[in-house]
Every structure is written in C-alpha cells, then in structure tokens.
Amino acid sequence: MVSLEDYKKSLGKSAENFSEDEIVEMKALSGQLASALFAAWRKNLVANSVDISNDVIKE
C-alpha cells in the first residue's frame, strides 16, 4: 500500500494544485481502478486458460 505522502510525491508539482481532500480522493480512486483492472485481467486469464485436469496422456 502506498502512503499518502508517497502518492503526493508521485504527483510531482501538480500536487500543489490539489487540496488534501482531493489528493485523498484521487488516491482512493486510483486504488479502485487498479483493483478493477486486476480483476478484469484475472477474469480474462481464467477465461483463456486451458483446463488440462481431465486430459489423458496417451503413451
């Protein structure tokens, strides 16, 4: 988890243009976006994976 201070540093000089509350909200929204992107990636990964548990290897 990224601290609020580190998040502010990542914004650079643009952080000066936002209030503390706006920065807290942006940090929360970026966390939600990251979670949604990860969930979509994971769903896509599972949908495209091959289930080999029932495959029989013939020699």
DSSP 46: H
Span 17-39, mean pLDDT? 95
Confidence of residue 45 (pLDDT cuts 50, 70, 90): confident
What residue ranges do the domains of the chain occupy? 4-57
Burial of 55 (0-12, 13-18, 19+ CB in 10 A): exposed
Q: Is the pLDDT of residue 1 over 90?
A: no
pLDDT tens-digit profile of 25-34?
Answer: 999 999 999 9
pLDDT of residue 30: 94
Q: Is the pLDDT of residue 57 over 60?
A: no
Cα radius of gyration rounded to whole Å, the chain:
20
Q: Decide: 8 and 15 in contact? Cβ < 8 Å.
A: yes
Choose among 36, 38, 39, 11: nearest CA to 25.
11
